[in-house]
Amino acid sequence: MLTDSQTVDANDAAPENIQGISVDEAITAVMDGDFASIDLFLHQSVLPALLWASVGLAVLFIGYFVANYLSRVISRPIRNRIDETLGRFCGTVIFYTVMGGLVASVASKLGAPLGGLAALIAAAGFAIGLAFQGTLSNFAAGVLMIVFRPFKVGDMVNVAGIAGKVNEIDLFTTTLDTPDNRRLIIPNSSISSSTIENISYHAHRRAEVLVGVEYAADLDQTREALQRAVDCFADQMIPGEGRGSAVVLAGLGDSAVQWKVRLWVAGTDYWPMQECLTGEVKRQLDRAGIGIPFPQMDVHVRQTVTQDIRPTTRPRMRPARRAQAANEPPSMRRAS
């Protein structure tokens, strides 16, 4: 046990050296059986360190909930009033910023060398950056998509050759739900490096049916039949400049006269209206007696006379004998 004089000396020395005796000195005291120094080491070094560690863990535990609460409170109005994706991104940034500040503060109170820790983190970040170049490219692409917002959660898009509804936009990946209820997770770098088609960006879309009719059909009669098909959907048509409907003679194909039937509808009604318009075009053409031809091809076969070349059966002759036979009279050739 410590005497009163030793306790006073230890308390006086504490402000100057909060660590008390060093670990090497404590080991030497254990080997020498100096229990007074061991007790001093426990009271001045171990117990304060455990106390500060407990306080630090408590601060981090409480700080986690505080950061989560701040993230929700700040991001909620952004999600409701501005954009869902931007709100989630701001919430994530706030959460990790608060937690990073708490970790740095606790480490500083515990006596951790922040300068060396920062250098270690920088070196580790450089090594990780070289090892995860693809991941960092996904992160950069995710930040750009969140900032510039080519699409948002709930939009119907066609990206990287895949069509689907945006379910979630993260910093590294984007989640799509396809029309046949498949969930696809696409790296953000693949999306940023390809053409992005935001199908549901505009409120109105144009349904279009391309149909070919036989050449024998009258043009005016065909136009009237196709216009009747469009008039069946007058209630769903979006009027206005550049909207409405149109029946256009598109061209003269190899086996049919090509027509285009166009109808502007609401974006949410595009797919059902596309199907209904196609079916009504077929019904109106059938009622008017106008056929839809299938591709035809005329094949002309030319007959040519081929010469029958047969191999000769005459025996081969040496060049000298051939020259001698050429100089002989015909009678001698037959005799030979």
Q: pLDDT, tens digit, for every residue of 85-122?
A: 777 778 888 888 888 888 878 777 766 666 666 677 77
Q: Given 287, 305, 324, which residue is the final one in a domain? A: 287
- CA 127, CA 133: separation in Å to the nearest integer? 10
Residue 70 lies in a domain: yes
**39-53, 80-94, 129-143, 280-294: the lowest-pLDDT one:** 39-53
Q: Which domain holds residue 283?
A: 204-287
Is residue 262 over pLDDT 90?
Answer: yes
Report how far apart the first and last C-alpha atoms of the chain are (Å, whole number).
146
Statement to judge: residues 279 and 229 lie in one domain: yes
Beta bridge partners, 261, equal: 209, 247
Long-range pairs for 185-188: beta carbons < 8 A, 24 or more residues apart:
186/159, 186/160, 186/162, 187/134, 187/138, 187/141, 188/138, 188/139, 188/141, 188/142, 188/145
Nearest to 169 by CA among 161, 177, 178: 177
DSSP tag of 224: H
* % of the chain beyond a pLDDT of 70: 69
**177-186, 195-204, 272-281, 306-315: the lowest-pLDDT one:** 306-315
Q: Given 198, 223, 239, which residue is the final one in a domain? A: 198
What is residue 87's predicted lDDT score, i.e. its pLDDT? Answer: 78
Statement to judge: residues 77 and 115 lie in one domain: yes
The total number of structural domains that make up the chain: 3
Nearest to 156 by CA among 208, 206, 196: 196
Q: pLDDT, tens digit, for every residue of 204-233?
A: 999 999 999 999 999 999 999 999 999 999
Statement to judge: residues 219 and 176 lie in one domain: no
The model's pTM is 0.54
